[in-house]
């Protein structure tokens, strides 16, 4: 059985039977068969499914948001925002997919040669719990529009959300079998990856799991997109608007209870303004409300699982023992549920745990740099390379420094966020490949050269003898 636990109180809220091997086999066959027909449907018709998915998502927003909050503890207002973002992503690809997938003419001596974008087949999506709807629809909208089918292996602590995703796609009118959710244990994933009915794999998850999936998919010679961990730097230079930077920094760290790959985690601040930034940051952290995630004014809900909370606390304790200064929070709340307060660690250095490791929870590490060059060096001193933020009022310098930061994205005077208009993904141990934008929809396609030479005139048909 797969059990869902409400992290707000630690109580079980549902048990779900695992799918049998026979069920999995039938789902794979159905998806492969359905995709063979789906790929023949013109993209202008396929995107009607996306429009319908957006409609279903919005109509059920309250219900689906409540599922998210119940299973992984996201504050309800953020859960509602997640559902709306899924719908927006579907609308975006419904509008742009035909243009993104249109044949591209290639100038040559041949006539009308093109690059075409054909679907790959059925894609296995291995998805995490922290954005249980968004992570799937971020992938699925462009994948369906491109003519692919999909199989979802979701995190086992959000089974209700996983089944709801399947319900949404079905209600939206997807062809029978094109998509299925599988409730299975992680040990079954290797078999799915190796199965000939799976054409490619996409994973959002930890770096450790990403390495395993990459090895398995590589052995099977199958395309992968990996969006993995992150330790995003949030650089604040001396000429930044500190009030605005501190306001955005708090949101960037503590949204989703700090449980996101692209949460800002290391706040690298120039020495001359560090004390003032820390003062502002701590003041704004004190305004955050921790508590029941179903209440609309809650900012910090419970962490998704107890082991995540205890692991985060161990990182905090090690960092303090190494010499960091605790400015706020610092230990789990007493009582039921997996609550960890918004925590601020100052004077963190590059040899401390909170700098070297990803802190997947509501803990901010403040690092002091003597100047902009050292700030960029510290930002790059990590195995990760997902997102980054840079705060300064000097735009010429900002553009130059942005090119020096080793990350998949640099947000200048803003908070890192995924947006269907822009490609999303990382470098180094944050993974490879891209989601979203034109590059995302082209990840799971066969980029095919169609060379067309000049037509050869047919020989004249001989006349019959008179």
- Residue positions annotated with a catalytic role: 227, 261
Distance CA 464, CA 132 (A): 73
Distance CA 7, CA 305 (A): 6
Distance CA 337, CA 10 (A): 5
Instruction: Write out the DSSP string of 114-175.
Output: EEEEEE-SEEEEE--SSSTTHHHHHHHHHHHHTT-EEEEE--TT-HHHHHHHHHHHHHTTPP
Burial of 176 (0-12, 13-18, 19+ CB in 10 A): exposed
Strands 363-369 and 179-181: unpaired
The two tokens of residue 29 are 């066959």
Residue found under tokens 């690809």: 93
Determine contact, residues 172/53, Cβ cutoff 8 Å.
yes
Distance CA 149, CA 125 (A): 10
Distance CA 217, CA 194 (A): 7
Determine contact, residues 264/418, Cβ cutoff 8 Å.
no
Q: How far apart are the first and last CA of the chain?
A: 85
Handedness of CA 433, 434, 439, 442 (dihedral sign): positive
Instruction: Write out the DSSP string of 45-58.
Output: HHHHHHHHHHHHHH
Helix (H, G, I), strand (E, B) or coil at 245: helix
The neighbouring-strand residues paired with 15 are 3
Distance CA 390, CA 462 (A): 76
Q: What's CA 414's distance to the chain center, in Å?
A: 18
The neighbouring-strand residues paired with 203 are 126, 226
Helix (H, G, I), strand (E, B) or coil at 449: strand
Helix (H, G, I), strand (E, B) or coil at 230: coil
CA angle 27, 31, 35 (to 5 degrees): 175
Distance CA 419, CA 437 (A): 8
Q: Compute φ and ψ for 182, nearest 5 degrees.
A: -115, 125
């Amino acid at each position: 059985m797969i059990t869902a636990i409400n992290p707000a109180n630690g109580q079980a809220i549902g048990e779900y039977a695992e799918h049998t091997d026979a069920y999995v086999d039938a789902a794979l066959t159905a998806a492969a068969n359905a995709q063979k027909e789906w790929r023949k449907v013109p993209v202008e018709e396929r995107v009607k499914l996306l429009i319908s998915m957006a409609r279903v998502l919005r109509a059920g927003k309250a219900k689906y948001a409540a599922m998210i909050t119940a299973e992984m503890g996201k504050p309800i207002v953020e859960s509602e925002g997640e559902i709306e973002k899924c719908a927006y992503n579907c609308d975006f690809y419904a509008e742009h997919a035909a243009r993104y997938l249109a044949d591209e003419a290639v100038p040559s001596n041949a006539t009308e040669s093109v690059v075409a974008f054909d679907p790959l087949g059925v894609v296995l999506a291995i998805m995490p719990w922290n954005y249980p709807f968004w992570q799937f629809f971020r992938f699925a909208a462009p994948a369906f529009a491109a003519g692919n089918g999909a199989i979802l292996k979701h995190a086992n602590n959000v089974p209700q959300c996983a089944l709801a995703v399947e319900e949404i796609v079905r209600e939206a009118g997807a062809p029978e079998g094109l998509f299925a959710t599988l409730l299975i244990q992680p040990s079954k994933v290797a078999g799915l990856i190796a199965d000939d009915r799976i054409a490619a794999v996409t994973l959002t998850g930890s770096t450790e799991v990403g390495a395993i999936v990459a090895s398995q998919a590589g052995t099977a010679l199958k395309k992968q997109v990996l969006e993995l961990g992150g330790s995003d730097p949030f650089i604040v230079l001396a000429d930044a608007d500190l009030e605005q930077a501190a306001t955005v920094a708090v949101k960037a760290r503590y949204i989703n209870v700090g449980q996101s790959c692209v949460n800002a985690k290391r706040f690298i601040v120039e020495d001359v303004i560090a004390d003032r930034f820390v003062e502002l940051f701590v003041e704004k952290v004190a305004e955050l409300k921790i508590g029941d995630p179903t209440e609309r004014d809650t900012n910090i809900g419970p962490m998704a699982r107890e082991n995540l909370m205890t692991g985060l606390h161990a990182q905090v304790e090690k960092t303090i023992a190494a010499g960091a200064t605790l400015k706020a929070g610092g230990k789990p709340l007493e009582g039921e549920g997996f609550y960890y307060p918004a925590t601020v660690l100052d004077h963190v250095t590059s040899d401390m745990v909170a700098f070297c490791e990803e802190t997947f929870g509501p803990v901010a590490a403040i690092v002091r740099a003597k100047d902009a060059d050292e700030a960029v060096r510290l930002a790059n001193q990590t195995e990760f390379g997902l997102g980054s933020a840079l705060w300064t009022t000097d735009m010429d310098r900002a553009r130059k420094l942005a090119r020096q930061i080793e990350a998949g994205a640099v947000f200048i005077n803003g908070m890192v966020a995924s947006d269907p208009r822009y490609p999303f993904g990382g470098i180094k141990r944050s993974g490879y490949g891209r989601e979203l934008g034109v590059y995302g929809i082209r990840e799971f396609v066969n980029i095919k050269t169609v060379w067309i030479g000049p037509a050869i005139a047919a020989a004249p048909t001989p006349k019959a003898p008179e």
